[in-house]
Structure 1
Amino acid sequence: METAPLIDPFARPITYLRVSVTDRCDFRCTYCMAEHMQFLPKRDLLTLEELDRLCSGFIGLGVKKLRITGGEPLVRKNILSFFRAMSRHLDSGALTELTLTTNGSQLARFASELAACGVKRVNVSLDTLVPEKFAEITRWGRLAQVLEGIDAATAAGLKVKINTVALKGFNEDELIPLTRWCADQGHDLTFIEVMPMGEMGEENRLDQYWPLSDVRARLGESYALTDLPDSTGGPARYIRLNETGQRIGFITPLTHNFCESCNRVRVTCTGELFMCLGQEDKADLRAPLRASTEDDGLITAIRAAIARKPKGHDFDYSRQRVAGQMSRHMSHTGG
């Protein structure tokens, strides 16, 4: 089977794959899901064996970093067996990093096993350190459970990065407390602009939008900032706070276009390959997975899709309307 690396039409090597293993979650964060979500029938989801074949196919084509997402990936039944299967690619050297993005609710149960599978770091979504506000934003979540999970991850030797969605009028007043808490705990911190993904009912995404240019300016009032050239293979831009030495990331899909260096693609829990988070074009990988036990059709479908990867996306909040809004929820595509 041909194993030439994946190169898109703009000469960008595709080395980073994000895979959603479930659309289900034990939280209902207001910017991510509707409160009463209609989840996909389980028959539509890729089986763990299919996920193994799919990820292994990408790894054979040069993917070096694999991030597992959801929904909440750790609520998927028997998900640790999938992490154990993927660890063989770490052992062989074909894969250089296996990681996940999680809400932290299940980390107390799984952190030590994840570390045993070769996971070195995790991203934990956390938008507030106030229990009442945490319950409000997640609808169903308990802050104490997440903090316990973060402590368990640290105890297991996992490096924790906190991902915080910047939400106007919600966590503006926690900017400095969150930053100080991360510094005290030894966690990196990345701020993310809210994205126009899926219909939220009563939630107005424009009202939630807090541009990270303002977040950075407010940090600059309390700290001396140094721009960093660091890249972790994702879209974040980084600064260092000179007083604490900690690294702060900014993911700004709406005010700073980061597409020129894009090296990643996403696969949904149903096997849809999205070449760009901000475009609707997708390729069906579930059909070739289920059509044959051989992977030739899967590899052909992957290559055909990468040949259509666009140069960039269209997110824009100008003129007080959401241009380029995506119809699917983040829980379907994967965070």
Structure 2
Amino acid sequence: MLRDRFGRSIEYLRLSVTDRCDLRCTYCMPTGFKDFEEPGDWLTFDEIERLLRAFARLGTRRVRLTGGEPLLRRHVTSLATRIAAIEGIDDLSMSTNATQLRRHAQALRLAGVKRLNVSLDSLDQACMRSITGRDSHAQVMDGIMAGKEAGFDPIKINMVAMRGVNDGEIDRMAEFCIKHGFVLRLIEVMPMGQTGRNSAYLDLQPVRARLQQRFDLVPQALELGGGPARYLATRDGRSNIGFITPLSQHFCATCNRVRLSVDGTLYMCLGQEEKFEFRPLLRGGASDAELEAAIREAIELKPQMHEFSARPEKIIRFMSQTGG
């Protein structure tokens, strides 16, 4: 089992398969941004599989496919099939904006993807257009329902809550998720890059108290996917509402994950700069033993906690460059 300097078990890898996206969410990627990684610098599927096998031998059990928008990577379902077959990896999931999900939902399910996280910041067409930069509402909603039809369970709806932007819709979003049996996850915006710092932060602690009272929610002790959310559940157990609060109540002490970007850079923390580049090793003839030693060396770089509150200006890279 991989453990960092602070005794945390690191068993969760978030794998970005592309930094491209067909949306431009205001907190994630700057309008007009074109400085994407060149395809020649992307890890190939063979390189990804080899590196993930090394992670799995060291105890990694969970992998989430992310982006950008992962469904923009050609043949990503074949990659999912390869990852799902790796011995030791027993939880393969995907984060998506759902614009392409209608076309891929069934194939992803057959490939071995077990769960979906869908970014949905608003149920209002105009508000969604303002946040995402395009009229994506109908396409996203259709994609979510395609995921439900394909049998994905749970489907987690990720809503980045922003003061004065979509905070008036939180109760409506909760009602929508409860109705359909989805898991709502409310997320505090993180000051990653200028895009994140320009977004209006909303403290979710008062929101949590309000929703708990309105919907008669009870604390949820069950583990739901290994991520950082703290959950409340409806009394009938049909739905859950999670709160991801990196600023108002951080979860650094229990952080169990690292992020691998499309170019093979492993980031240890969203709110710090520590990283390790694996592409040179993969393309330079490194042995399996050398890869495993490099992974252990990289995990030793993982910091104790982020500095989003103390130094919000520190992180220049924005979310889509790191991976979701």
User: TM bucket by the smaller chain?
Assistant: over 0.9
SS in structure 2 opposite 1:298?
A: helix
1:190 to 185, 190, 193: 185
Q: Partner amino acid for 1:130?
A: D
User: 1:308 Cα shift?
Assistant: 2.1
1:213 to 169, 193, 205: 205
| Equivalence for 2:194 | 199
* Larger CA deviation: 192-201 vs 102-111: 192-201
Q: What is the alpha-carbon distance in structure 1 between the residues aligned to residue 191 and residue 272 of structure 2?
A: 12
Is the counterpart of residue 329 in structure 1 residue 308 in structure 2? no
User: 1:134 Cα shift?
Assistant: 1.1
Q: Which residues in structure 2 correspond to 1:301-312 (within 5 Å)?
A: 301-312=294-305
| Equivalence for 2:158 | 163
| Equivalence for 2:63 | 66
1:279 to 257, 272, 279: 272
1:21 to 17, 20, 32: 17
Q: Partner amino acid for 2:312?
A: A
TM (norm. structure 2) is 0.94
| Equivalence for 2:90 | 96
* Larger CA deviation: 225-234 vs 236-245: 236-245
Q: What is the alpha-carbon distance in structure 2 between the residues aligned to residue 62 and residue 244 of structure 1?
A: 31
Q: Partner amino acid for 2:245?
A: T
Seen in structure 2, the aligned counterparts of structure 1 residues 325 and 240 have a Cα distance that, compared at 3 Å, is farther
Q: Is the 8 A contact 1:108 1:148 kept in 2?
A: yes
* Offset from partner CA, 1:66-98 (integer Å, 9 cap, x none): 001000000011212211111212xx4x11100
Consecutive unaligned residues in structure 2, runs of 5 or more:
none
User: 1:238 Cα shift?
Assistant: 0.8
| Equivalence for 2:291 | 298
Q: Is the 8 A contact 1:128 1:134 kept in 2?
A: yes
Q: What is the alpha-carbon distance in structure 2 between the residues aligned to residue 326 and residue 266 of structure 1?
A: 15
Q: What is the alpha-carbon distance in structure 1 between the residues aligned to residue 5 and residue 268 of structure 2?
A: 12
Runs of 4+ aligned residues of structure 1 deviating over 4 Å after TM superposition are none
Seen in structure 2, the aligned counterparts of structure 1 residues 244 and 82 have a Cα distance that, compared at 3 Å, is closer
Query: Percent identity at matched positions?
Result: 45
Q: Is the 8 A contact 1:14 1:265 kept in 2?
A: yes
Seen in structure 2, the aligned counterparts of structure 1 residues 295 and 128 have a Cα distance that, compared at 3 Å, is same
Q: Is the 8 A contact 1:223 1:242 kept in 2?
A: no
* Offset from partner CA, 1:114-142 (integer Å, 9 cap, x none): 11011121000000011111111100241
Q: Is the 8 A contact 1:235 1:258 kept in 2?
A: yes
Q: Which residues in structure 2 correspond to 1:56-205 (within 5 Å)?
A: 56-89=53-86, 92=87, 94-159=88-153, 160-200=155-195, 204-205=198-199
Q: Is the 8 A contact 1:66 1:99 kept in 2?
A: yes
1:252 to 245, 251, 258: 245
Is the counterpart of residue 241 in structure 1 residue 230 in structure 2? no
Q: Is the 8 A contact 1:124 1:162 kept in 2?
A: yes
Q: What is the alpha-carbon distance in structure 2 between the residues aligned to residue 311 and residue 155 of structure 1?
A: 41
* Larger CA deviation: 43-52 vs 143-152: 43-52
Q: Partner amino acid for 2:214?
A: S
User: 1:221 Cα shift?
Assistant: 4.7
Q: Is the 8 A contact 2:212 2:232 kept in 1?
A: no
Consecutive unaligned residues in structure 1, runs of 5 or more:
none
Q: What is the alpha-carbon distance in structure 2 between the residues aligned to residue 327 and residue 287 of structure 1?
A: 24
Q: What is the alpha-carbon distance in structure 2 between the residues aligned to residue 141 and residue 101 of structure 1?
A: 20
User: 1:243 Cα shift?
Assistant: 7.4
User: 1:188 Cα shift?
Assistant: 0.7
Seen in structure 2, the aligned counterparts of structure 1 residues 293 and 314 have a Cα distance that, compared at 3 Å, is closer
TM (norm. structure 1) is 0.91
Q: Is the 8 A contact 1:120 1:157 kept in 2?
A: no
